[in-house]
Amino acid sequence: MEVHAVTRYVRMSPSKARDLAREIQGLPVPEALRVTEHTARKAAFHLGKTLKSAIANAENNKGLSAEDLFVGLAAVDEGPTLRRGRPRARGMYGPILKRTSHIKITLTDRKPSGT
């Protein structure tokens, strides 16, 4: 059985969050929570928040225990980009891209085969 949680429009570049998402993928839920709580990065805060939401969905909607679950999928996709700019020399325009992310976590009750 799979349980999902999605956090959208997080003001963080997806490339900065993907490495931590790859780290927690395939781990048991208690271990993945430990990794997100003891990592001092902005991505860890948002991934931990989405993970806790998925755990709450599993416990309240499906009646599953968090100790028996694994992180099946932890994906960070690109959201819309806010385009801002800054004046540069000789009247030119320097683009500043403020990227956003969509974080999706899927919990499953069986151990993923890849790990």
> Minimal CA–CA distance to 105: which of 42, 43, 54?
54
What is the reported pLDDT for 112? 75
Domain ranges for the chain, please list them.
2-108
CATH class of 2-108: alpha beta
CB atoms within 10 A of CB 3: 21
Specify the 3-state DSSP secondary structure of 11. coil
What does pTM read for this prediction? 0.90
pLDDT digits (tens, 9 = 90+) for 51-110: 999 999 999 999 999 999 999 999 999 999 999 999 999 999 999 999 999 999 999 998
- pLDDT band for position 45 (50/70/90)? very high
Contact 45, 52 (CB under 8 A): no
| Cα–Cα separations (whole angstroms), residue 17 to 22, 91, 99, 103 | 9, 35, 12, 9
